Amino acid sequence: MISKKIEKALQGSSAIRAMFVEGKQMAEKYGAENVYDFSLGNPATPAPAAFNTAIKELVDETDPLVLHGYMENAGYTDVRAAIAENLNKRFGTKFDYHNVTMTVGAAGGLNIIFKTILDPGDEVIVFAPFFGEYRQYAANFDADIVTVNPDLETFQPDLADFEAKITEKTKALIVNTPNNPTGVIYKPETMRKIAEILEKKQTEIGHDIYLISDEPYRELVYDGNEVDFLTKYYKNTIVGYSFSKSLSLPGERIGYVVVPDEASDAEDLIRGIEISNRTLGFVNAPSLLQKAVARCLEEQTDVAFYDKNRTMLYEGLTKLGFTCIKPEGAFYLWVKSPVENEEEFVTAGKKYHLLMVKGSAFGCGGYVRLAYCVSPETIQNSMQAFAKLAAEYQLQSR
């Protein structure tokens, strides 16, 4: 007596989440130090001390009726204004509080954006490989995901394929840069071309196409890379942000959505997103957390921590003979499976207590994702396991 959609979901469910549970079970069986769990994007560096200080100060200083009470569904005005101001300072944008809606993480943000713009049968284009949950979010509104192939050398999107896949049903494109699962940052040149294609196609098909920028990894970049604010490239851009990774708060579910005034039907979008926030059951982003992140907008996570992990894992695996895409941001390493069917490779890894996620979960088989948001010790200790795995596939160490 469950719904047909959920009946189907019970069969599939999330490969990442299933592995999260499997990892916990293996840790119980073999000891946590003997399991190398690279499955989940759960930050390994703690929230900045300023976050806990902000929480304690807020609790001590704020009227509890305000701190824990209802506010407008879009969030506290002062919090939204602080975020707008911070973005303006960093990116030269011109947002105001009314452009910002506080959300229950980026997942909540994407769902209320989708609810606001998608009708059944609409198509949402994604660049493979992509965060697999986009499929479920689109399915919530009976819309379809259309995938665009990557360039297998650079993992930038194949723009000819992108242009070919835009139809009258296309309502939106999701861009996720720095990318989960590849760690690649889309080049300014790529973004300019994407915007050009969208502008041209909008005119051709006679309706707007929104670019949804899903950017939980915006601040997680290496080697002096930067990610420009995508509203500058294309006016119909809606931004979904999360503090999960930038402040190491994934369990707290706090983020925001930005709709620029230049977007088509901006006012309706903003109101629609506020209504969706309420009616989809979020009501509003958690109040204490809204106030706390507003006090931590200048804080940064320990990027150097992830950078060291990145180098250690990338160099370690490359030396062992694995083919990896060097990550420019986020905290994932995208590794080519030595055999075409990467599920076989994932299974082989488990023998050595290595937990990797199959690429097909990201719409791109033949690869696996390693989340290196783990302790440096995990990476160090995992090397002997990877060495055994490399030997099993007779890889040539370099």
Token pair for 93: 């944008």
Residue 121 binds to a second copy (criterion: CB under 8 A) = no
Q: In terms of CB distance, is 286 or 376 closer to a second copy?
A: 286
Confirm if 370 and 332 have CB atoms less than 8 A apart: yes
Q: Which stretch binds a second copy (CB under 8 A): 25-33, 134-142, 193-201, 312-320?
A: 134-142
Q: Minimal distance in Å, beta carbon 247 to a second copy?
A: 8
Q: Minimal distance in Å, beta carbon 332 to a second copy?
A: 15
Residue 156 binds to a second copy (criterion: CB under 8 A) = no
Q: Which stretch binds a second copy (CB under 8 A): 1-9, 180-188, 225-233, 386-394?
A: 1-9
Token pair for 147: 């995938």
Q: In terms of CB distance, is 32 or 391 closer to a second copy?
A: 32
Single residue of 222, 241, 282, 345 touching a second copy by CB under 8 A: 282
Single residue of 15, 79, 82, 110 touching a second copy by CB under 8 A: 110
Residue 278 binds to a second copy (criterion: CB under 8 A) = yes
Token pair for 57: 């100060």
Q: Minimal distance in Å, beta carbon 95 to a second copy?
A: 20
Residue 210 binds to a second copy (criterion: CB under 8 A) = yes
Residue 235 binds to a second copy (criterion: CB under 8 A) = no
Residue 204 binds to a second copy (criterion: CB under 8 A) = no
Residue 42 binds to a second copy (criterion: CB under 8 A) = yes
The site that binds a second copy (CB under 8 A) totals a number of residues, namely 86
What's the order of all strands across the beta sheet hosting 367-371? Answer: 324-325, 332-336, 367-371, 357-358
Contacts of 73 (CB under 8 A, 6+ apart): 274, 275, 277, 278, 283, 284
Single residue of 99, 101, 111, 177 touching a second copy by CB under 8 A: 111
Q: Which amino acid is at 175?
A: V
CA atoms within 13 A of residue 167's CA, in its CB half-sphere: 11
Contacts of 385 (CB under 8 A, 6+ apart): 36, 349, 352, 353, 354
Residue 109 binds to a second copy (criterion: CB under 8 A) = yes
Residue 20 binds to a second copy (criterion: CB under 8 A) = yes
- In the region spanning residues 328 to 387, those forming contacts with a second copy, defined by CB under 8 A, are none
Residue 71 binds to a second copy (criterion: CB under 8 A) = yes
Single residue of 32, 281, 298, 351 touching a second copy by CB under 8 A: 281
Q: Minimal distance in Å, beta carbon 6 to a second copy?
A: 4
Q: In terms of CB distance, is 13 or 397 closer to a second copy?
A: 13
Residue 180 binds to a second copy (criterion: CB under 8 A) = no
Whether the link from the prior residue into 286 is cis, omega within 30° of 0, is: no
Single residue of 86, 88, 93, 136 touching a second copy by CB under 8 A: 136
Q: Minimal distance in Å, beta carbon 54 to a second copy?
A: 10
Single residue of 252, 306, 367, 386 touching a second copy by CB under 8 A: 252
Single residue of 99, 237, 287, 382 touching a second copy by CB under 8 A: 287
Residue 316 binds to a second copy (criterion: CB under 8 A) = no
Token pair for 102: 């506080």
Single residue of 28, 33, 119, 223 touching a second copy by CB under 8 A: 119
Q: In terms of CB distance, is 128 or 296 closer to a second copy?
A: 296
Single residue of 99, 284, 309, 378 touching a second copy by CB under 8 A: 284
Single residue of 18, 50, 67, 159 touching a second copy by CB under 8 A: 67
Residue 203, judged by CB atoms within 10 A of its CB (0-12, 13-18, 19+), counts as exposed
Q: Cα(349)–Cα(388) distance, rounded to whole angstroms?
A: 9
Residue 224 binds to a second copy (criterion: CB under 8 A) = no
